[in-house]
Structure 1
Amino acid sequence: MSLSKLKRIHVVIIGSVLCVIAATAIFFLLIKPKQEAYKAAEARYNAAKDLGNQAAEDKAIRDLNQAILEANVVKQAFDAQMKRRMPDLSFARRDIGMLALWNEQIKTLGPLLESFARDQRVSILSTNFSLPPPPVNPNDPVFDQDVLVFPVGSVQAMGNFKDLMNNIRRWNNCRRLVMVGPPQLQGESPRLVMSYTVTCYIFPAAKGGPQIPIAGAAQAQPGQMF
């Protein structure tokens, strides 16, 4: 199947499997609507209460309780995903957090993604992965971020259309939160060649605590580690 002959359904399928929803997207797609529903139900309850309309107040209470229940269900699902995919990183103690980030980047994240990229159902033509050197200064601004973003690199695989789509979906099972895509397709099935990028997101449990005094910090230059 040539790329020019892809039907609209294939385009829709490709768009639907641009894994994996980042936590920010999860928030806007799942949690935020429930929060807004809760606020709307609470506003209706307050309005009915002020007007002294008992029937409207009773209905508003039911709506409010339902909104709270749905918000809690979504929050629990979100927390479960975060627990499953997030490393135990806290920067409340900057020095300890920095060492933990070194361990995550060097010993865990890189090897984990390289290993996970190997999919026996397709031919992996190449994986071009690299991670930036971890910070060597505990006062580095990276420890003050809500989320750490790692543009890991790219994957190139060959196979039939179905197997290539399954290869993308497979990233949903990765033990880290990654976003894959957009895929680029070339050639004909069953020897379609697909390329896509991989980006990893890490949400620390706590951002950087008080900065640590460092002798000669004004003159020191950050080093590089690979």
Structure 2
Amino acid sequence: MSLSKLKRLHVIIIGSVLCVIAGVAVFFLQVKPQMDAYKAADARYQAAVVKGNEQAKAQAIKDRDDARMAMQIAQAMLDVQMKRRMPNLNFSRRDIGMLALWNEQIKTLGPLLEHFADDANVKVAQAGFKIQAPPSNPNDGVFDQDVLVFPLGSVTVVGDFKRVMGNIRRWNNCQRLVMVGPPKLVGVSPQLAATYDLTCYIFPVAKGGPTIQMAGGGAAAGTPGAVGAPGGAGGQPPMP
């Protein structure tokens, strides 16, 4: 996972009021500090080499090796989570990538979320997901983004306090990277109602490659986010 994507992910997680993908966030937030620690250890090693201090050099080598190991472990943990939660969306071939995005949004993401929201431990009063329609132009700017952001709408569940909190934490186990917004609580346990917003984040394997020459005109790119009217949980692509 590139450092630019990691920085973007930090912004997403740290900037959220409530991120109940806490277990996942721990992995993400560990990687950059470990990278920084390795760079600092390497700088100390380089300084020791210049000074010719063998004792300082030996300690710097040990510190650098330890920092490298910690960084590799954190990176491996992050890679496991990303592999588990990210669909394989590669936009280097824009036309093929667009079809893959259609498949993700229409056939996979909507049904996956609807199925996961069906929690038998609480009463699900509302779970109406609305996913924006995918683009129909392979040159759309959405294919040039580091991260795809899908506001999903809100969910309302009713139950006792423990079960409601369990429902919120349950999104840790979703097969996509989903952030839960701050819940609004109404009533008292055991008839406590919680309403919260959901946002899904998807990191493509690769951003858009060369634009494709379109029939009857240039290869103008679309505007990210302006990809057609919102569809249902499996939003249909807009008409060309």
Tell me the TM-score normalized by structure 2: 0.82
Distance 2:208 2:22 in 1: 26
The change in CA–CA distance for 1:216 and 1:24 in structure 2 (over 3 A counts) is farther
1:83-121 Cα distance to aligned partner (Å, 9 max, x none) = 111111100110000011001000000111011001000
The CA distance in 2 between the partners of 1:23 and 1:215, in whole Å, is: 44
Which residue number corresponds to residue 64 of structure 1? Answer: 64
Counterparts of 1:134 and 1:74, CA distance in 2: 34
Shift of 1:40: 0.7
Which whole-Å CA distance do the structure 2 matches of 1:23 and 1:96 have between them? 30
Q: C-alpha offsets along residues 27-84 of structure 1, whole Å, 9 cap, x if unaligned?
A: 4x21110011001101111111111111111111000000000000000010111111
1:124 counterpart letter in structure 2 = V
Pair 23,100 (structure 1): closer, same or farther in 2 beyond 3 Å: farther
Larger Rg: 1 or 2? 1
**Partners of 1:215 and 1:25 in 2: CA distance:** 47
Worse overlay, 61-70 or 176-185: 176-185
CA distance in 2, matches of 1:43, 1:81: 30
SS in structure 2 of the partner of residue 134 of structure 1: coil
Q: What is the percentage of aligned positions where both structures have the same residue? A: 56
Q: CA deviation at 1:219?
A: 11
Question: What residue in structure 2 maps to residue 19 of structure 1?
Answer: 20
Q: Does 1:207 align with 2:207?
A: yes
Q: Which residue of 2 aligns with 1:100?
A: 100
Instruction: Give the deviation of 1:223 after TM superposition.
Output: 5.9
Aligned residue runs from structure 1 range 26-41, under 5 A: 27=28, 29-41=29-41
**Structure 1 residue aligned with 2:129:** 129
Quick check: 1:18–1:168 contact (8 Å CA) kept in 2?
no
Contact (CA 8 Å) 2:185, 2:194: kept in 1 or not?
Answer: yes
Aligned residue in 1 for 2:151:
151
Which whole-Å CA distance do the structure 2 matches of 1:35 and 1:51 have between them?
A: 25
2:18 and 2:182 in contact (8 A); partners too: no
Report the secondary structure of 1:125's partner residue.
Answer: strand
| Structure 2 gap segments, 5+ residues each | 1-15, 230-234
- Match of 2:128, SS state, is strand
Q: Which piece of structure 1 moves more, 40-49 or 209-218?
A: 209-218
- 8 A Cα contact 2:132 2:228, kept in partner: no
Count of aligned positions: 211
Q: Which residue of 2 aligns with 1:118?
A: 118
Offset of residue 22 of structure 1:
10
Alignment check: 8 A CA contact 1:155 1:196 kept? yes
Task: Please say if residues 17 and 169 of structure 1, whose CA atoms lie closer than 8 Å, have aligned partners that are also in contact.
Answer: no
> Which SS does the other structure have where 2:152 is aligned?
strand
Preserved contact between residue 22 and residue 178 of structure 1 (Cα < 8 Å): no
Across the aligned residues of Structure 1 and Structure 2, the Cα RMSD in angstroms comes to: 2.4
Aligned position for 1:12: none
The Cα shift of 1:128 comes to 2.3
Q: Distance in 1 between matches of 2:191 and 2:97?
A: 45
Q: Compute the TM-score of the two structures, normalised by the length of structure 1.
A: 0.87
Inter-partner Cα distance in structure 1 for 2:54 and 2:88: 49
Give the conservation status (yes or no) of the 8 Å contact 1:153–1:197: yes
